[in-house]
A = this chain, B = another copy of it.
């Protein structure tokens, strides 16, 4: 059965062909969608397997979206390997890879942006100016192109997930957003295409990021509610070794992403740091016992 599916996998490179295909499919089939920037890892593949469970047709897009990168960010060196990605997606019984180039997605004169105001100003939005506008814009475009019934997003990019959920609700996009838990390496590091940037020494330090989240979970499990106290403890874990440059440690409302002083019910702990030149993020939901 896997082999059967595999031989039918199609790669579509134009917007018009993808839209026409989606229209035809929607007449009697459900489409599940996984947007990616490629260089797939086990985290992405878990999203694809989830999509496979949810619908008749699985569409995965591979597009490194230039408008979500700042001028000093890693757009040029972002890792790419289409053949490897296609082989992995074939194994997961993907039906369609949508693989447009930059010119197909952003034609001359492009000037329309989707802004999820306020939500995009917190956490990563403070340093990555315009990043979430770039993300919301490309996801709005991809939804209009792929026309999915549902789309699967990883919880590892928690703020991105909140931005997308808010956009879908506010603009009445008829797409069900399915969140999927962060997939981790055996030592706890959240899977990310950017992990490939890490040297061996940096990679070892990186385990402290998830360790710091586990520390916070333990504290909340033991009754701690003061977010300043928890944030200091997270910071301490991240400084157990040299070379982790903390960008933020925030404990926020799970919906609005505004900082909260105490944990009442649920809150999200989100961390961003640099190890060498590599920027890594992770998060966990802290829940009152």
The CA-CA distance from A111 to B170 in the complex, in Å, is: 7
The CA-CA distance from A111 to B26 in the complex, in Å, is: 30
A111 partner residues in chain B, CB cutoff 8 A = 116-119, 166, 170
Assuming A144-B174, A169-B107, is B118 touching A115 (CB within 8 A)?
no
| Closest partner residue, chain B, to A146 (CB atom) | B172
A109 partner residues in chain B, CB cutoff 8 A = 166, 255-256
A82 within 8 A of B: no
The CA-CA distance from A242 to B166 in the complex, in Å, is: 50
The CA-CA distance from A27 to B28 in the complex, in Å, is: 9
A123 within 8 A of B: no
A268 within 8 A of B: no
| Closest partner residue, chain B, to A120 (CB atom) | B111
A167 partner residues in chain B, CB cutoff 8 A = 112
Total interface residues on A, using CB and 8 Å? 34
Assuming A171-B141, A171-B144, is B117 touching A114 (CB within 8 A)?
no
A78 partner residues in chain B, CB cutoff 8 A = none
Q: Select one of B23, B107, B117, B256 contacting A112, CB under 8 A.
A: B117
Scoring A residues 81 to 123 as 1 if CB is less than 8 Å from chain B, else 0, what string do you get?
A: 0000000000000000000000000010111111111110000
A166 partner residues in chain B, CB cutoff 8 A = 109, 111-112
A170 partner residues in chain B, CB cutoff 8 A = 107, 110-112, 141
A206 partner residues in chain B, CB cutoff 8 A = none
Q: Is the CB of B141 within 8 A of A172?
A: yes
A110 partner residues in chain B, CB cutoff 8 A = 170
The CA-CA distance from A109 to B23 in the complex, in Å, is: 32
A15 within 8 A of B: yes
The CA-CA distance from A169 to B141 in the complex, in Å, is: 10
Q: List 26 A-B contacts (CB under 8 A).
A: A15-B172, A23-B174, A26-B26, A107-B169, A107-B170, A109-B166, A109-B256, A111-B116, A111-B117, A111-B166, A111-B170, A112-B114, A112-B116, A112-B117, A112-B171, A113-B115, A114-B115, A114-B171, A115-B115, A137-B171, A140-B171, A141-B170, A141-B171, A141-B172, A144-B174, A147-B174
